[in-house]
Amino acid sequence: SNGSTPNHVRTNGIAPHHHHPQPIVSLDHGDPTMYEAYWKKAGQRCSVTMSGFQSLSYFGDGKTLCWFMEKKLEDEIRKLHKVTGNAVVDGKHIVVGTGSSQLILAALYALAYTLDISNPVDVVSAAPYYSSYPEMIEFLRTGLFKWSGDARCFDKDVPYIEFVTSPNNPDGSTREAAVMNRGQLGMLVHDLAYYWPQYTAITSAADHDLMLFTASKCTGHAGSRIGWAVVREENVARKMVKFIEMNTIGVSKEAQLRSASVMELISLSCQKRKPCDVESFFDYSQCTLADRWKRLRDVVTKNQLFSLPKFPSHYCNFRREVVQTYPAFAWMKCKEGIDGERLLREHKIGTRSGRRFGWEAEYVRISMLSRDDDFDLFLHRLSTIQPTANGNQ
Ligand code: PMP
- Cα 344 from Cα 381, distance rounded (Å): 9
Checking ipTM against 0.95, whether it exceeds it is yes
Whether ligand 1 lies within 6 angstroms of the CB of 84 is answered as no
Q: In what order do the strands lie in the sheet with 93-98?
A: 93-98, 226-231, 210-214, 186-191, 160-165, 121-125, 145-150
Whether ligand 1 lies within 6 angstroms of the CB of 100 is answered as yes
Residue percentage of the chain with pLDDT more than 70 = 91
Q: How far is the CA of 277 from the centre of ligand 1 (A)?
A: 31
- Cα 307 from Cα 334, distance rounded (Å): 7
**pLDDT surpasses 90 at 329:** yes
What separation, in Å, do the N-terminal and C-terminal C-alpha atoms of the chain show? 25
pLDDT of residue 278: 81
CATH 3.40.1500.10 fits 50-270, yes or no: no
Sorted by sequence, the CB contacts under 8 Å of residue 155 that are 6+ apart come out as none
pLDDT of residue 176: 95
What number is the average pLDDT over the span 352-378? Answer: 98
Mutate to test the pocket of ligand 1, among 29, 31, 100 (most ligand atoms within 8 A of CB): 100
* CA 330-149-110 angle, 5° bins: 100
Sorted by sequence, the CB contacts under 8 Å of residue 298 that are 6+ apart come out as none
Q: Do 114 and 239 form a contact (C-beta atoms < 8 A)?
A: yes
Q: Could you read off the pLDDT of 105-142 as tens digits, one per residue?
A: 999 999 999 888 889 999 999 999 999 999 999 999 99
Q: Could you read off the pLDDT of 30-80 as tens digits, one per residue?
A: 999 999 999 999 999 889 999 999 999 999 999 999 999 999 999 999 999
- Cα 274 from Cα 272, distance rounded (Å): 6
pLDDT of residue 49: 94
pLDDT of residue 388: 60
pLDDT of residue 266: 97
**pLDDT surpasses 50 at 1:** no
Q: What number of other Cβ atoms are within 10 A of residue 47's Cβ?
A: 9
Sorted by sequence, the CB contacts under 8 Å of residue 187 that are 6+ apart come out as 111, 115, 159, 160, 161, 162, 209, 210
Q: Which CATH number fits domain 10-38+279-384: 3.90.1150.10, 3.40.50.150, 1.10.760.10, 3.50.50.60?
A: 3.90.1150.10
- Which residues of the chain does CATH 3.40.640.10 include? 50-270
Q: How far is the CA of 158 from the centre of ligand 1 (A)?
A: 28
Mutate to test the pocket of ligand 1, among 132, 164, 175, 218 (most ligand atoms within 8 A of CB): 132
pLDDT of residue 390: 38
What are the backbone dihedrals phi and psi of residue 55, each rounded to the nearest 5 degrees, phi first?
55, 45
Whether ligand 1 lies within 6 angstroms of the CB of 222 is answered as yes
pLDDT of residue 17: 53
Query: Can you spell out the DSSP letters for 116-163?
Result: --SSPEEEEEPSS--THHHHHHHHHT-SSEEEEEEGGG---SS-EEEE
Q: Could you read off the pLDDT of 202-259 as tens digits, one per residue?
A: 999 999 999 999 999 999 999 999 999 999 999 999 999 999 999 999 999 999 999 9
Write a three-state SS string for 254-285. HHHHHHHHHHHHHHHHHCCCCCCCCCCHHHHH
Whether ligand 1 lies within 6 angstroms of the CB of 64 is answered as no
The answer to whether the predicted template modeling score (pTM) of the entire model surpasses 0.80 is yes
- Which residues of the chain does CATH 3.90.1150.10 include? 10-38+279-384
pLDDT of residue 373: 97
Residue nearest atom 2 in ligand 1 by C-alpha distance = 193
pLDDT of residue 13: 42
What number is the average pLDDT over the span 25-29? Answer: 97
Q: Could you read off the pLDDT of 261-314 as tens digits, one per residue?
A: 999 999 999 986 655 678 999 999 999 999 999 999 999 999 889 999 999 999
Sorted by sequence, the CB contacts under 8 Å of residue 305 that are 6+ apart come out as 14, 334, 335, 338, 385, 386, 387
Whether ligand 1 lies within 6 angstroms of the CB of 214 is answered as yes
- Cα 104 from Cα 212, distance rounded (Å): 8
**pLDDT surpasses 60 at 151:** yes
Q: Do 308 and 62 form a contact (C-beta atoms < 8 A)?
A: no
- Cα 85 from Cα 98, distance rounded (Å): 24
Whether ligand 1 lies within 6 angstroms of the CB of 99 is answered as yes
pLDDT of residue 18: 55
| More confident position, 389 or 28 | 28
Element (H, E) at 43: none
